[in-house]
């Protein structure tokens, strides 16, 4: 069927394949998680035409953090590929999305590590600030 279509419309270089994705999600948004990779994406506004392929790897996520209600959703990582339409190539420009489910699952958990851990982190930050101040003092004396 494709050769007949190509005979009817031989020049696909003028076909506008620009597209925009407002949001693509596989479940409710989990607070504190990164935004979806395709949210707000617009492609094809540079005048090129061709084939856009998006490949999404979907991972089940369960949010069981303290203070949050238990929430199950899915997040995804994204790969994309663009192939420009070449003259005299029997191809039709397109936009496609393929996705697959990962065999793994992610569970988000958090717990309070206790006061000793909090005190240790506070002392570490203080030591880092002191070391940085000493370094800047040395640089100021060497340069100045």
Q: What is the pLDDT of residues 4-41, one digit of tens each?
A: 555 555 567 777 888 899 988 988 888 878 888 988 88
| CA-closest candidate to residue 93, choices 11, 7, 38 | 11
Q: Decide which of 89 and 4 is more confident.
A: 89
Q: Looking at the structure, tell me whether residues 72 and 118 fall in a common domain.
A: no
Q: Looking at the structure, tell me whether residues 36 and 85 fall in a common domain.
A: yes
Q: In residues, how long is the chain?
A: 144
pTM score, whole prediction: 0.63
How does pLDDT run across 90-104, given as a tens digit for each residue? 778 888 999 999 888
Q: Looking at the structure, tell me whether residues 20 and 57 fall in a common domain.
A: yes
Rounded CA separation 1/78 (Å): 32
Rounded CA separation 50/16 (Å): 9
Domain that holds residue 137: 112-144
Q: Looking at the structure, tell me whether residues 78 and 125 fall in a common domain.
A: no
* Residue entry with tokens 């991972």: 59
pLDDT of the residue at 67: 63
DSSP state of 114: -
Per-range mean pLDDT, top range of 14-18, 65-69, 80-84, 133-137:
133-137
Q: Looking at the structure, tell me whether residues 90 and 105 fall in a common domain.
A: yes
Average pLDDT of every residue of the chain? 84
Asked whether the beta carbons of 43 and 52 are under 8 A apart, the reply is yes
How does pLDDT run across 35-63, given as a tens digit for each residue? 889 888 888 777 778 889 999 999 998 88
Q: Looking at the structure, tell me whether residues 120 and 102 fall in a common domain.
A: no
Q: Decide which of 3 and 117 is more confident.
A: 117
Q: List the beta bridge partners of residue 40.
A: none
At 101, which helix (H) or strand (E)?
strand 94-101
Count of the separate structural domains present in the chain: 2
How does residue 76 score in pLDDT terms, banded at 50, 70 and 90?
very high
Rounded CA separation 39/24 (Å): 6
76 burial type by CB count under 10 A (0-12 exposed, 13-18 middle, 19+ buried): buried
Q: Decide which of 3 and 123 is more confident.
A: 123
């Amino acid at each position: 069927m494709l050769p007949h279509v190509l005979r009817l419309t031989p020049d696909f270089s003028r076909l506008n394949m620009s597209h925009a994705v407002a949001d693509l999600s596989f479940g409710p948004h989990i607070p504190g998680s990164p935004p979806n990779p395709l949210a707000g994406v617009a492609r094809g506004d540079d005048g090129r035409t061709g084939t856009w392929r998006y490949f999404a790897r979907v991972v089940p996520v369960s949010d069981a953090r303290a203070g949050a209600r238990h929430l199950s959703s899915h997040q995804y990582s994204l790969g994309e590929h663009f192939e420009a339409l070449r003259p005299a190539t029997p191809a039709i420009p397109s936009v496609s999305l393929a996705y697959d489910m990962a065999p793994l699952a992610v569970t988000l958990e958090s717990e309070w590590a206790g006061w000793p851990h909090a005190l240790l982190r506070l002392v570490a930050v203080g030591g880092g600030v002191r070391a940085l101040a000493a370094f800047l003092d040395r640089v100021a004396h060497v340069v100045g």
